[in-house]
Structure 1
Amino acid sequence: MRVTLRLVLDCSADAAWEALRSPAGLQHTAGPFMHVRSLEPGGLPDRWALDEDHRVATSLFGVLPAGEQRIHLHEERRGTARILVDSGAPVTGLLAMFSSWKHRMAVAPTADGRTLYRDRLDVGGPGALLAWPVLWAFWQWRAHRLRQMARMLPLV
């Protein structure tokens, strides 16, 4: 099952990339519906480390536990696009209904200095089809929050 976004953001590709690499960016785009808390001794880093696991606990509205997830990021490049790939996986709770998880977020500069943002989540498992409407709605919320965040970032 796949959920996608394709947006032009009012910020530079460099600024969008830095926001993607930041746990604060994740918290902004997921909030207030989904809250993310680190399970690592040092808490959430300022910037996600590449090629390392980071365990987080998720909750709905900060109250209802949604489960634990392992975030594992690596970077890819295709032409002018930078792609952040999360090949981690849900571990427990509601999210564990997905037996596979791959999330790709790509940024590329546009001719006018803004950012083409593409986001693709592929999930599998017994609950994937049932969860699709909820994931689709959440992705629309992400789009709204991404646009909000982009307006606060530099267009340089």
Structure 2
Amino acid sequence: MRVLLKLTLDCPADAAWRAIRSPAVLREVVAPWLDLDSLEPQGLPTTWPEGRHRLRALAFRRWPAGEEVVDIAYPSAVPAGVRMLRDRGGALSGPLSAFSTWDHRMAISATPDGRALYRDRLVASSGNPAFDAALWYPTWAFWQWRGARLRALAPGWSYDPPGTADAEAAA
């Protein structure tokens, strides 16, 4: 199954890039349907570093809904001006473990008017084409929710320019 989003966000590309790498923004985008708590001793990072991160999913921010792995990579083989985050993790238990494969890519680039172009592609499969067909609509609907949340949140995102304490910490 494939689910795609392509949105223009009302913020600079640098602010959008910072936001999609933030676990806090992820938690805001999936609310109120889901929440994510870290299962790692150090908790959720400020920015996703490359590698595997174990999480607990909570349905409606309250009830345990399984364990997940977010497996982050930042591919470098992308066109000039594009930044990409790739998650090849997936659920280890709970309802979302119906997907046996998970490949989620989010790309940010600047538009000519200075806003951010956000492209999102999820390719996931349960291994059963009939089951994938049944899972497509709920997954698509959730992705539309995520897109609406991104659009609503983006105007409040800011970018800390080089030389600020936050910019140095992010580097």
Same fold at TM > 0.5: yes
* Residue 156 (structure 2) aligns with: 152
Code of the aligned partner of 1:19 = A
Code of the aligned partner of 1:94 = P
Q: Please report how far the alpha carbon of residue 95 of structure 1 lies from its aligned counterpart in structure 2 after TM superposition.
A: 1.0
Q: Which moved more, 1:146-155 or 1:20-29?
A: 146-155
Q: Supply the distance in 2 between the matched residues of 1:71 and 1:81 (Cα, whole angstroms).
A: 22
* Residue 120 (structure 2) aligns with: 119
Q: Supply the distance in 1 between the matched residues of 2:61 and 2:115 (Cα, whole angstroms).
A: 33
Aligned to 1:148, the other structure's residue is in SS state helix
Aligned to 2:54, the other structure's residue is in SS state strand
Contact persistence 2:88–2:103 (CA under 8 A): yes
Contact persistence 2:31–2:61 (CA under 8 A): no
Alignment CA distance shift 1:121-1:34 (3 Å) = same
Q: Which moved more, 1:64-73 or 1:6-15?
A: 64-73
Q: Supply the distance in 2 between the matched residues of 1:139 and 1:72 (Cα, whole angstroms).
A: 19
* Residue 92 (structure 2) aligns with: 91
* Residue 63 (structure 2) aligns with: 64
Contact persistence 1:97–1:128 (CA under 8 A): no
Question: 1:38-89 deviations in whole A, cap 9, x for unaligned?
Answer: 1101111111111x11000112102332211111111123221111000112
Alignment coverage as a number of residue pairs: 155
Q: Supply the distance in 1 between the matched residues of 2:59 and 2:155 (Cα, whole angstroms).
A: 26
Q: Supply the distance in 1 between the matched residues of 2:149 and 2:112 (Cα, whole angstroms).
A: 23
After TM superposition, the runs of 4+ consecutive aligned structure 1 residues lying more than 6 A away are none
Q: Please report how far the alpha carbon of residue 153 of structure 1 lies from its aligned counterpart in structure 2 after TM superposition.
A: 1.6
Q: Please report how far the alpha carbon of residue 133 of structure 1 lies from its aligned counterpart in structure 2 after TM superposition.
A: 1.2
Q: Percent identity?
A: 45
Aligned to 1:78, the other structure's residue is in SS state coil
Aligned to 2:151, the other structure's residue is in SS state helix
Alignment CA distance shift 1:128-1:63 (3 Å) = farther
RMSD: 1.4
Greater Rg over alpha carbons, structure: 2
TM-score if structure 2 supplies the norm length?
Answer: 0.86
* Residue 140 (structure 1) aligns with: 144
Q: Supply the distance in 2 between the matched residues of 1:128 and 1:64 (Cα, whole angstroms).
A: 25
